[in-house]
Amino acid sequence: MAHHKQIPKTFCTTREAAAMLGVSLRTAQLWTESGLLEAWKTDGGHRRISRQSIDRLLANPALGQVSVQATSGRRASDIAATAEPAPFSILVVEDDAFLGRLYELRLGEWPMRPAVSIVGDGYEALIRIGHTKPDLLITDLQMPGMDGFRMLQTIRSVPELRGMNIVVVSGLDAAEITQRGGVPEGIPIFPKPVPFDALQGIAEQVAAVRQAPVPKAAL
């Protein structure tokens, strides 16, 4: 009897992609919406993701930490129950290295002692957000690769991320921002130079809400 060589699948579902990458379904959806994962829809409306794009992300060192956590055999809820409370986290998206360093120094002096991460473009920001949703996102708009406009539209297109606290700090004026499509409603925009005092006020408000006790359900 002739043996037929099995041809490996060149695509998979979103859920299969999430399992292979060791991330949540929400993260896989986010990366698909942003274009980090190449996908298309079948005639029946089901999304299929290219295995090649999955392999490309697996080769990205930034995914290593998530892959280790995914294969450790521990449930996320178990980890959360035993770990110390996570510090207040801020993700800054800024391609200017000098400004990035300035953000890191100034934000590190804030009373809540935030954990600050700096990335240089929208693609890298989406990867970070897919790993761990920051408490506050501060972003520029003009960047190489994926700019802030497209990144913000991608974030707002994912239901689980629509409530993310976001602030824009940009060298563009209001007319230029409008001409380039604007930013999603409800996101405050500040002009450069970076208004650190105003940003600290926003961060303190977000931190206060984060630390507020969750009201008990009525009996």
Residue 198 included in any domain? yes
pLDDT tens digit sequence for 38-90: 887 777 777 888 888 777 777 764 543 433 333 333 344 444 444 566 889 99
**In a shared domain, residues 106 and 183:** yes
**Concatenated DSSP letters of 104-155:** HHHHTTSTT--EEEEESSHHHHHHHHHHS--SEEEE-S--SSS-HHHHHHHH
Tokens standing for residue 151 = 């990144």
The pLDDT tens digits for 83-137 are: 566 889 999 999 999 999 999 999 999 999 999 999 999 989 998 898 888 999 9
CATH code of the domain in which 134 resides: 3.40.50.2300
Q: Is residue 5 part of a domain?
A: no
Same domain, 188 and 99: yes
List the domain range (segments joined by +) for residue 176.
Answer: 86-211
Question: CATH code at 21?
Answer: 1.10.1660.10
Q: How confident is the model at residue 30 (pLDDT cuts 50, 70, 90)?
A: confident
Instruction: Look at residue 167 and tell me if it is in a domain.
Output: yes
Residues 118 and 165 in one domain: yes
Together in a domain, 144 and 194: yes
What's the structural domain count of the chain? 2
Query: Exposed, middle or buried: residue 42 (CB in 10 Å: 0-12, 13-18, 19+)?
Result: exposed
SS3 of 71-106: the string is HCCCCHHHHHHHCCCCCCEEEEECCCHHHHHHHHHH
* Domain boundary pick from 42, 69, 96: 69
Q: Is the dihedral of CA 56, 20, 62, 156 positive or negative?
A: positive
Examine residue 186 and state whether it is found in any structural domain, yes or no: yes
Q: Are residues 112 and 37 in the same domain?
A: no
DSSP secondary structure letter of residue 159: G
Mean of pLDDT values over 163-170: 96
| Residue 90 phi, psi (nearest 5) | -130, 130
Residues 101, 132, single domain; the answer is yes
Burial class (CB in 10 A: 0-12, 13-18, 19+), 135: buried
In a shared domain, residues 29 and 129: no
pTM: 0.69
Q: Specify whether 182 is located in the same domain as 94.
A: yes
Is residue 54 in a domain?
yes
